Chain A
Amino acid sequence: MMILTNSVVILFITIGVIFIVVTAIGLVRLPDLYTRAHAASKSATLGVMCILIGVFLHFWLIEDHFNPRILLGILFLFITGPVGGHIMTRSSYIAGVKPWKGTVRDDLGPEIERMKKEQGIQ
């Protein structure tokens, strides 16, 4: 039983660390802001959530201490991580950051032009 519990904990924490390393590699290698934000907000959130699940299971099954704060932290990260990525990417698009030159489709551009025309800017 002890070996099984330890294996589950180690599995979750390893998956989390691997996802965070993938995030760091993505931040270095990807070409523009939007692909980097895609890497950062998605896989970092999943990695931190996996690490928190591992910590929660370790304290619950081995140290015999049920800590609901960690569950609340997982819920909080799950809600706020993607929203933070969305807000940062959207504000940088509106501020005029250009996407990578290989981009073939841009749906937000015409929409922003339409909103500017409706509100009488330019």
Chain B
Amino acid sequence: MKTNDVIIQFTAKIVFFIIFFFSIHIFMAGHYTPGGGFVGGLLTSSAIVLLVLAYDLNTVRTVLPINYIHLIATGLLLALGTAAFPMFIGKPFFTHFFDYFTLPLIGKTSLHTAMLFDAGVYLVVVGVTMTIIQRIGEDD
């Protein structure tokens, strides 16, 4: 029976943004506090799964037209590129660099290449989780 589910759809719209921004916060804060790419990726995919539960798979695919297989490939390339870059300038594999920059709005910031590696992990985790859930869910 098709029922009227206004309440869960409206709640999912609001809660999606809370979970998504919290996952970005967890991802950014991973260097100094608990968190990082893996937990952030899982939280992002759980926010998308909440949308899938409240609406359906085709609606979410229209709203977020992402090919998750390509997302996995992008994440792996980013991680491998960050790891392999120091070899071209005569440093060992996986050497990381960091420096302090003064950015216009944020002020003094320490930027580290481990962040790029973490972004690769994040993309791979989101891609793998959403691929599994889409493949299982669309099997009508």
A residues with CB within 8 A of B? 69, 72, 75-76, 79-80, 83, 86-87, 90, 94, 112, 115-116, 119, 121
Q: Separation in Å of the A110 CB from the closest CB of chain B?
A: 15
Give the contacts of B10-28 with A (CB-CB under 8 A): 11, 14-15, 18, 22
Task: For the complex, give the distance between the alpha carbons of A21 and B40 in Å.
Answer: 34
- Alpha-carbon separation in the docked complex, A83 to B7 (Å): 7
Q: Could you count the A-B residue pairs with CB atoms below 8 Å apart for me: how many are there?
A: 30
Chain B contacts for A76, CB-based, 8 A? 15, 18
Chain B interface, DSSP helix/strand/loop, else mixed: helix
Interface residues as binary, B60-73 with A (CB distance below 8 Å gives 1, 0 otherwise):
00000000000000
**What's the dominant secondary structure at chain A's contact region?**
helix
| B11: contacting residue among A79, A90, A119, CB under 8 A | A79
B8 near A119 with CB under 8 A, answer no
Q: Which residue of A lies closest to B19 (CB)?
A: A76
The answer, among B7, B11, B18, for a CB contact under 8 Å with A72, is B18
| Complex interface: chain B residues within 8 A of A86 (CB) | 7
Closest chain B CB from A115 CB (angstroms): 7
Query: In whole angstroms, how far apart are the Cα atoms of A87 and B3 in the complex?
Result: 12
Inter-chain contact A72/B1, CB cutoff 8 Å: no
Shortest A7–chain B CB gap in Å is 30
Q: Does B108 contact A (CB under 8 A)?
A: no
- The interface residues of chain B lying within 8 Å CB-to-CB of A94 are 1, 3
